[in-house]
Amino acid sequence: MASARLRELFGLLPVGLLVTAGFTAVVLSRTEEVNDLSLTYGGFFLGLCVFAHFFIRIRLPQADPYLFPLAALLAAFGLVMIYRIDEELARLQAQWFVAGLVFFCATVLLLQDHRALERYRYTIAAASILLLFLPRVPGIGDQVNGAFLAIRLGPVQFQPAELAKIGIIVFLASYLGETRDVLVRGRVPRLSLKHFGPLLVVWGTAMLLLVFIRDLGSSLMFFGGFLALLYVATSRLSLVAAGAAMFAAGAVFFANTVGHVQDRISIWLDPLRPQVVEDEGYQIAQSMFAQADGGLFGTGFGRALLELPGGGRILPAADTDLIYALIANELGLFGAAAVVMIYLLFTARGFKVALLARDGFSKLLAAGLTAVFAMQVFVIVGGVTRVIPLTGVTLPFVSYGGSSIVANLVLLALLLIVSHDARRDPAESRGGLA
Amino acid sequence: MNRPIVHLFGLFTLLFALLVGFTSRWSVFEAESLEDETANRRPLLEEQRIPRGLIHARNGTVVASNQQLGSRQTRRFVRRYPTGSLFSHAIGYSFIDRGRAGIERSRNDILSGSANELTSLIDELSSAEEGDSLRTTLDPKVQRAALEGLGGRRGSVVAVEPDSGRIRAMVSLPDFDPNAVRERFNQLNADEGSPLFNRATQARYPPGSTFKVVTAAAALDSGRHGPQTTVSGKNNKPISAVPLQNFGGQDFGQVTLTEALTKSINTAWAEVGADLGDSTMLRYMRRFGFGAEPPIDYPSSQLAASGIFEENELLDEDDPIDIGRVAIGQERLQVTPLQMAMVAATVANDGVLMQPVFGERAISPEGRVTERIRPERVRRVIDRSAARDLTGMMSRVVEEGSGTAAQLRGVRVAGKTGTAERGAGVNQAWFIAFAPVERPRIALAVTVERAQGTGGEVAAPIARRVLEVVLDAQGRGSSGPAASGGF
């Protein structure tokens, strides 16, 4: 099956094209001489991609050939946009990409069989929940826009939710894989607390996230991932509906009691009111203005208005939360739709991995990771385009941020491990930790 | 478990389609209304990124140019005005943080390059955008002469070509240096002399006897009077049941209309106005442009209408008006210098009012003329013979009446003085004029606030100075103070 890897290598061609064209366009837009140093970022990035390809070729030869090129394409998009915003930031992002690849390789090397994770599921769950609440710990917690999403250790800022999402999916996949028989067959009144307990814990965690982290976005992401898994595990829409209703009830309750959530929703409904447009509504208003400026084809790489004459940027958080708005501004509706399309293809390949997986845990793990990944895309792009209230979640592989790059490359590694495991010849299977 | 996974993928496909749908909503379907949002500063900032078109004076002198600041991403252009305060009010200014005024505002479409809708699609593809240049009708020589004539006194001069409406000079003092507007805006705004206020277009002054030209136009054109019709110039004649005095309490007997204008006899003209009545007088006023903002390429916010005002409300036929006193420029009549220049220009142009205009043509960065601004006729105000008669009467004012200080050697000048008392010994001094009488090339209005003398003494010499420069003629006698005083 060398052809799968060959397809993967060919899949990297568009990445190379995008990086070359993107960097050239940005550099040209600056009306300065083409800087050799700036172009080396692109070359360096391509080198990393080829290295990753050979690593996959050796360790996971049967893995899905499209997932990595799609992720690389997204990362290339992100790198070009970040380079366009700030050269120094692009250098850091490239460094993070190296770190992410280290984690990627480490995951693949250490975890020869993903089923080993099942043994540690409660530890993983506890660690993940702990991670989620770390930003509330005084001293290291960091409040941004009223939400507690990051921790700060010295100069390093870290968003624990990025890693926690993987841990929670691992736990849920393992847990639901075991109890799904009971949940599928049992009649609702006869299901005991023993079966429902952990589900209530998940619901409670999502609610606590709303209150303590004060972030509707990550709550929605986690709970959406959970409901998706519940549905895959049980095929019972009634359970999903009950869960969704519980989340909605909780969200509505907190929307009416917690000021922060309430504000977010009223801004979402009408961000252009004069009272808020320069204040709390500034981000989403600027996001819409940037998209309006882009039109069908956009202004071109590096040509959108970003820097203000007096310093600062007109589009806040352009490198992280609002990077999609900048993409829509510079590449237009077509470019933005292309990015969404790449995410949809990634999601399709992720679910394909789940379809091909041979056991329940593998299926649930792949489906859950894919679902939470897609949910994250929906939460942030939906926030930026005002489908839902805007919250601070990164755009996977594209946004600037170490934790985001590292976590999503680990997520990719897990998907590839499951994929390799599903496609290889059963005769040569061997399990366990390396 | 495979079916729910497929369903799930279907759900995410729908959700992602929703994302694309909303992106197209903002980037395409509602883009235009978003760009019009007041909170959206992008259009303003974008404009700053392209060089604005230059503004040229009539002789090609650059009066507004650009200074490039920053580089690369932050490259932007800031307006510079090489001629400083020379054209401050006419040209105005354009700064992101201070907004726009004057021609910079009224001709923004040309200067910002947004006038030509057809090219906007091409512009979107190429980033090399630039506004069109504007050639104006303003004449630095004439402008300077007017400024020197006023000599720092508060007041205004407006000079216009009668047959085209082209404005050759517009001075308002105190003025300001547009280059200083960015840093000193609040200071300028609070200044006691109101330097940002364009007296030529915004200040409403009592016109004094210059308004008798309007009354005379109505009298001649309506056919009720001729230049030789006799009227009574008796002092203390009751007008609206209240006795009216002539200037200096002088008593005249029966005089011709021509004499009445030459000597600026109040009681005679008040009677003429009262005879014509409210509706005839107001009709002719409206024809001259009173009662509405002048149709000039200048921002509406910097224009004032002339007319009879009661606490900023324009009055008309239905309101009780002492039309006899309006006819001699008293009552609650208030006029702008621009309006009075339009009156003089109309008489000079055989009775046809032309649209006053600053713009002459727009030129693309490649040097192609993209728009020619042609003279526009507003209306015929009085017929040709009435205009000729009135011209004859007004030339007598300069030859032997109150306006002798405006005489030029070898060129006949027609004019009318005005002196509105604003307190003990303090007058609003006026002079409106045009020349040469045979084929007028320039018409103007001059006014000086809080003048110590009469219009003939204070304003007429300023007019002469401007006429000298325009017509390249010399004043009769020395350039010293006028020998004969006037009204």
Q: In this structure, are B291 and B343 located in the same domain?
A: yes
Span A374-402, mean pLDDT? 91
Mean pLDDT of chain A: 83
Cα separation, A361 vs A364, in Å, equals: 5
Give how far the C-alpha of residue A13 lies from the chain's centroid of Cα atoms, to the nearest Å.
24
Structure tokens that stand for B307 in this block: 């007319």
Q: How far apart are the first and last CA of chain B?
A: 105
| Domain presence at residue B267 | yes
Peptide bond into A69 cis (omega under 30): no
Q: In this structure, are B221 and B72 located in the same domain?
A: no
Q: What values do phi and psi take at A213, rounded to 5?
A: -80, -20
Span of A77-91, A164-178, B82-96, B110-124 with lowest mean pLDDT: B110-124
Of A161, A398, A241, A353, nearest to B9 by C-alpha is A353
* pTM of structure: 0.66
Predicted pLDDT at B118:
43
User: Taking the C-alpha atoms of A188, A189, A193 and A196 in order, what is their torsion angle to the nearest 10 degrees?
Assistant: 20
Structure tokens that stand for A369 in this block: 């990771």
Of B2, B1, B94, nearest to B55 by C-alpha is B94
Contact of B37 with chain A, judged by CB distance below 8 Å, is answered with: yes
Q: In this structure, are B396 and B253 located in the same domain?
A: yes
Residues of B in contact with A29 (CB under 8 A): 127
What CATH number is attached to the domain comprising B411? 3.40.710.10
| Domain presence at residue B5 | no
Q: Which helix (H) or strand (E) holds B172?
A: strand B167-173
**Amino acid identity at B248:** G
- Counts of helices then strands in chain B (DSSP H, E): 17, 24
Q: In this structure, are B133 and B274 located in the same domain?
A: no
Q: End of a domain among B90, B114, B138? A: B138
**Amino acid identity at A424:** R
Please spell the DSSP secondary structure of B376-427, one letter per residue: -EEEE-S-HHHHHHHHHHHHHHHHHSTTGGG-EETB--EEEEEEEE-STT-E
A277 with B9: Cβ contact below 8 A: no
Cα separation, B308 vs B330, in Å, equals: 10
Residues of A in contact with B15 (CB under 8 A): 374, 378, 382
Contact of A38 with chain B, judged by CB distance below 8 Å, is answered with: no
| Domain presence at residue B182 | no
Structure tokens that stand for B461 in this block: 């010499």
Per-residue pLDDT 10s for chain B (487 aa) are 789 999 999 999 999 999 999 999 999 999 888 887 777 888 777 777 788 889 999 999 999 998 888 776 667 888 999 999 999 999 999 887 778 889 998 998 888 876 544 444 444 444 447 888 999 999 999 999 999 999 999 999 999 999 999 999 999 999 999 998 888 888 888 888 889 899 999 999 999 999 999 999 999 999 888 888 888 888 888 888 888 888 878 888 889 999 999 999 998 999 999 999 999 999 999 999 999 999 999 998 899 999 999 888 888 888 888 888 999 998 899 999 999 999 999 999 999 999 999 999 988 888 888 889 999 999 999 999 999 999 999 999 999 988 889 898 889 999 999 999 888 889 999 999 998 999 999 999 999 999 998 898 999 999 999 999 998 866 664 444 443 434 5
Of B182, B159, B204, nearest to B356 by C-alpha is B159
Whether the per-residue pLDDT at A67 is higher than 80: the answer is yes
Number of domains in chain B: 2
Q: What is the DSSP letter of B197?
A: S
- A232 with B5: CB under 8 angstroms? yes
Which stretches within B162-263 are classed as H helix? 181-190, 199-202, 212-221, 257-262
Q: In this structure, are B49 and B70 located in the same domain?
A: yes
Cα separation, B3 vs A211, in Å, equals: 35
Instruction: Please report, for chain A, the start and end positions of each structural domain, with discontinuous segments joined by +.
Output: 2-428
Q: Which residues is B361 bridged to in the sheet?
A: B135, B372
- What count of residues does chain B have? 487
Q: In this structure, are B308 and B353 located in the same domain?
A: yes
Q: Kind of pairing, strands B55-56 and B133-136?
A: parallel
Of B322, B296, B435, B445, nearest to B376 by C-alpha is B296
- Say whether the ipTM exceeds 0.85: yes
| Domain presence at residue B3 | no
A332 with B4: Cβ contact below 8 A: no
Which residue in A293, A339, A346, A369 has the most chain B C-beta atoms within 10 A of its own C-beta, making it the best mutation to test that interface? A293
Of A60, A75, A69, nearest to A401 by C-alpha is A75
Which stretches within B30-117 are classed as H helix? 31-36, 42-49, 88-91, 103-106, 108-111
A228 with B41: Cβ contact below 8 A: no
Q: What is the DSSP letter of B25?
A: I
Whether B27 is a known active-site residue: answer no
Structure tokens that stand for B237 in this block: 């004649």
Q: In this structure, are B167 and B111 located in the same domain?
A: no
What CATH number is attached to the domain comprising B83? 3.90.1310.10
**Amino acid identity at B135:** R
Span of A133-137, A231-235, B92-96, B122-126 with lowest mean pLDDT: B122-126
Q: How far is B75 from chain A (nearest CA, A)?
A: 8
B19 with A378: Cβ contact below 8 A: yes
Q: In this structure, are B434 and B458 located in the same domain?
A: yes
Whether the per-residue pLDDT at A243 is higher than 90: the answer is no
Q: In this structure, are B87 and B156 located in the same domain?
A: no
Cα separation, A391 vs B73, in Å, equals: 29
Residue range A337-347, pLDDT digits in tens: 999 999 999 99
Residues of A in contact with B9 (CB under 8 A): 347-348, 351
Range of the domain at B111: 42-138
A307 with B74: Cβ contact below 8 A: yes
Q: What values do phi and psi take at A304, rounded to 5?
A: -75, 155
